[in-house]
Amino acid sequence: MPTTGGASSPATASAASHRRSSRRRRRHPHPPPRQPWCCSFALDPLSAAVHRTSPLPPRPHKHAAAAAAPPPISRRMRSPGRVSPIDDAAAVSASSSARLSSVSECPPPPPPETRPAAVERETLRIRMVTKGVVLEVEEVERVKRESKLVGRIIGGGCGGEVAVEGKVEVEAIRGAVEMMLEDDGADEAAAMRRLSRAGVARAIAVLEVSFSLMFDRGVTNCLKYLEAVPWNETEEERIKSLLLQYSCNRTVSQDLLARLQPQKPSSSAELVVQLMDSITKGTNNNARKDLRTLVDGILSRTSIYIKSDKELDMKSIYSICNSCLNCLVELFGEASDLGPSGQITISVGKGPQERICKQVDNLNWLLQILIDRQMGEEFVDIWANQDKLSTMHEHVSPMIRYELSRISATIFIAVGSGKLHCTSSSRLMLFEAWFRPLLVDFGWLRKCPKGLNMATLEDAIGQALLTLALKHQQVLFMEWFETFSGQGRECPNLMRAFQVWWRRSFIRSVGSSS
């Protein structure tokens, strides 16, 4: 017969269990839904832990992990996002240990490569003393081959230093070194283009550096470039100085030297005479005027173009003067035609007058050169003996004949100022031949002076007249007195010289007699 105590004890246990379940349900009325889970031992690639543990290898791909270790059979996918409960705890622990061991036993990352220590290279130091600049060149062997000086200094050593003194440009050193580092088969035109971009002044500086470093190829390239381009005077002097200071290959510098010194030097005096002859035969008045100015600059005593040269050939210049005088006689013959009855026929047209003016300009210019060179005394004698011209002067129109008085005026100014030292007979012949024509043409000279200073001319005529003997002065002053009384300002004013002549001739003699 069953007893109560044995039947009530299961019921009591069931009731207590039910009460505990109820309290738990009241405590959690809505239990949270179960979250899906999966077994993964890799870190999230976006988490900060990945960045902190950079030495670990990246997470393997899913397919690769599945192929390496297939999941246990008890883990089957029941629905998306759900994994069935694990039936075998041993299998789970075995799988977990297998996965953990695969992560922990991953081979460590290879150690960083150790770079070999840098090998010390040969370096050439080019130090510019005045600039305080140092250029370093690593291709020492090529520089040693190109520069004889660097090869001597360095020899067989690895690198060294070359000191460059003087006012040397940094870019000139750089240009020379760059030329050394060019390939042996480099195009020569490329070097010419580089020098052309730099200019003549830089090419001269590179030439100087190449000479100093005994860099033959650089010297050759610079000389070829400089021979093909124009220079100014400063650049020319620098090139001359370099060629005199350094010896170079004559075959290379022959064309350049031909621009600096003639192969067969000729006398500059002879060339100047040829220039004079060409000017006197020219037909363009403006061009002749410019060329006369050019030759005057060459013949100037302070000119740099005719230093240490012999004087001009006086005979050659007087030969040109005689040619101009002969042409002047012919032109005056064309300008005036004396008929048998002595009537005057004046030629019409500007042709003869322009050609006469041209020859007078030539003679005045040549005469001024002779006066400056103190060689004009012979011209006074030649002009005083021009009987044909003095005769035709009376029969030609005043607007043409006054051109002859322009030549006489130049001579009188030179004699009156003491620039021409003629004999007394030459001075007397000059006055006897051309003093009266000058008095007649003075009005035209005042109207058309063509560069003459009339006040200077008046004073010079009086001073030249006072150099004659007193008896000759009396004749000439009386002639002037009569002309001046009739023409007035159309005649030179010689009153001051007249007073000097009068005092010397009469007042002094009266005083001496008393």
What backbone torsions phi and psi does residue 502 show, to the nearest 5 degrees? -65, -45
pLDDT confidence of residue 1: 42
β-partners of residue 133 are 128
pLDDT confidence of residue 486: 93
pLDDT confidence of residue 351: 74
Asked if the model's pLDDT at residue 378 lies above 90, the reply is yes
Q: Which range has the worst mean pLDDT, 224-228, 343-347, 454-458?
A: 343-347
Query: Reading across the β-sheet that carries 160-164, which strands appear in turn?
Result: 133-137, 124-128, 160-164
Asked if the model's pLDDT at residue 51 lies above 50, the reply is no
Secondary structure class of 99 (helix, strand, coil): helix
pLDDT tens digits along 169-200 = 888 888 888 888 887 656 678 888 889 999 99
Mean pLDDT over residues 400-412, rounded?
Answer: 96
CA distances from 316 to 212, 323, 362, 370 (A): 49, 11, 15, 12
Cα-Cα-Cα-Cα dihedral of 452, 456, 459, 463, to 10°? -90
Decide if 402 contacts 374 (C-beta within 8 A).
Answer: no
Q: Which candidate, 466, 403, 467, places its Cα nearest to that of 438? A: 403
pLDDT confidence of residue 165: 72
Q: Which candidate, 195, 240, 232, places its Cα nearest to that of 217? A: 195
What is the tally of helices (H) and strands (E) in the chain?
24, 7
Mean pLDDT over residues 69-74, rounded?
Answer: 44
Q: Which candidate, 175, 169, 131, 176, places its Cα nearest to that of 150? A: 176
CA distances from 297 to 283, 346, 366, 369, 412 (A): 22, 40, 14, 11, 25
Q: What is the DSSP string of 144-166?
A: HHHBHHHHHHHTTSS-EEEEE-S
Q: Which residue has the higher pLDDT, 346 or 230?
A: 230
Q: Which residue has the higher pLDDT, 166 or 255?
A: 255
Cα–Cα dist 336/343, whole Å: 10
Place of tokens 């350094």: 246
Identify the band that residue 113 occupies on the pLDDT scale cut at 50, 70 and 90.
Answer: low
Asked if the model's pLDDT at residue 118 lies above 60, the reply is no
Cα–Cα dist 502/492, whole Å: 18
pLDDT confidence of residue 339: 36
Q: Which helix (H) or strand (E) holds 136?
A: strand 133-137
Q: How many CB atoms lie within 10 A of CB 91?
A: 15
Mean pLDDT over residues 413-421, rounded?
Answer: 96
Q: Which residue has the higher pLDDT, 381 or 71?
A: 381
Asked if the model's pLDDT at residue 55 lies above 80, the reply is no
Q: Which helix (H) or strand (E) holds 83?
A: strand 82-83
Q: Fill in the DSSP letter of residue 40.
A: -
Cα–Cα dist 346/339, whole Å: 11
Identify the band that residue 474 occupies on the pLDDT scale cut at 50, 70 and 90.
Answer: very high
Decide if 383 contacts 437 (C-beta within 8 A).
Answer: no
Asked if the model's pLDDT at residue 248 lies above 90, the reply is no
Decide if 469 contacts 500 (C-beta within 8 A).
Answer: no
Decide if 364 contacts 381 (C-beta within 8 A).
Answer: no
Asked if the model's pLDDT at residue 53 lies above 80, the reply is no
Q: Taking the CA atoms of 138, 140, 141 and 142 in sequence, report the sign of the dihedral they define.
A: positive
- Pairing relationship of beta strands 160-164 and 133-137 according to DSSP bridges: unpaired
Cα–Cα dist 341/343, whole Å: 6
Decide if 467 contacts 415 (C-beta within 8 A).
Answer: yes
Asked if the model's pLDDT at residue 324 lies above 80, the reply is yes
Q: Which residue has the higher pLDDT, 337 or 428?
A: 428
Q: Which residue has the higher pLDDT, 440 or 70?
A: 440
Q: Which range has the worst mean pLDDT, 134-143, 227-236, 341-350?
A: 341-350
Identify the band that residue 108 occupies on the pLDDT scale cut at 50, 70 and 90.
Answer: low
Q: Which residue has the higher pLDDT, 2 or 218?
A: 218
Percent over 70 (pLDDT), the chain: 66
Decide if 500 contacts 473 (C-beta within 8 A).
Answer: no
What domains can be seen in the chain, in order of their start residue?
124-260 (3.30.710.10), 313-513 (no CATH)
What backbone torsions phi and psi does residue 124 show, to the nearest 5 degrees? -105, 125
**Mean pLDDT of all residues in the chain?**
77
Q: How many CB atoms lie within 10 A of CB 107?
A: 6
pLDDT tens digits along 294-323 = 999 988 865 655 554 456 889 999 999 999
pLDDT confidence of residue 121: 57
pLDDT confidence of residue 107: 52
Asked if the model's pLDDT at residue 94 lies above 70, the reply is no
Decide if 219 contacts 241 (C-beta within 8 A).
Answer: no
Mean pLDDT over residues 438-451, rounded?
Answer: 94
Identify the band that residue 129 occupies on the pLDDT scale cut at 50, 70 and 90.
Answer: low
Q: Which candidate, 406, 398, 466, 480, places its Cα nearest to that of 436? A: 480
Secondary structure class of 76 (helix, strand, coil): coil
Secondary structure class of 126 (helix, strand, coil): strand
- Pairing relationship of beta strands 124-128 and 160-164 according to DSSP bridges: parallel
Mean pLDDT over residues 505-510, rounded?
Answer: 72
pLDDT tens digits along 35-44 = 433 333 334 4
Q: Which residue has the higher pLDDT, 427 or 34?
A: 427
Q: Taking the CA atoms of 464, 470, 471 and 474 in sequence, report the sign of the dihedral they define.
A: positive
Mean pLDDT over residues 393-411, rounded?
Answer: 94
Q: Taking the CA atoms of 469, 471, 476 and 480 in sequence, report the sign of the dihedral they define.
A: positive
